[in-house]
Amino acid sequence: MAADPYELVAMLFEELRETLDLMIDSARRGDDARIFRYRAKALAILGGLDESLNFEVAGDLAQTLHVIYSEAAKRIQMDGADSRIERVESAREMIHEIEKAWTAIAPFR
């Protein structure tokens, strides 16, 4: 609970990436129950990241992140096992790029 806001967001990105990896692994194994559990967790984390955006301070950047988070959530939610893995992988890559940028600018580094 002593983590600063930058650290908390970094932790959310890490948890989201790990959850998406688990979702992809579950999809490869055909484990629908785990896919749905990891999907729910990933969507909750994305929702938390989106809710943390400060549009008054970050302006266009916050709006861009909102669009990216929404697109990632859309890709994660889409059904159809045939391309589920590819969609989740693309969402993971989108988020990973933001995570790398966040880590590079975070003051705790």
Residue 61 maps to a domain: yes
Residue 39 tokens read as 């999907």
Q: How many domains does the chain have?
A: 1
Residue 70 maps to a domain: yes
Domain range holding 86?
Answer: 5-104
Residue 51 maps to a domain: yes
What confidence tens digit (pLDDT) does each residue in 30-52 have? 898 999 999 999 999 999 999 99
Residue 109 maps to a domain: no
Instruction: Give the DSSP H/E element, type plus range, for residue 38.
Output: helix 32-51
* Domain containing residue 91: CATH number: 1.20.120.340
* 6 band by pLDDT with thresholds 50, 70 and 90: confident
Let me know the angle formed at the C-alpha of 41 by 6 and 20, rounded to the nearest 5 degrees. 80
Residue 83 maps to a domain: yes
Residue 98 maps to a domain: yes
Single out the residue of 103, 38, 93, 36 nearest to residue 68, CA to CA. Answer: 93
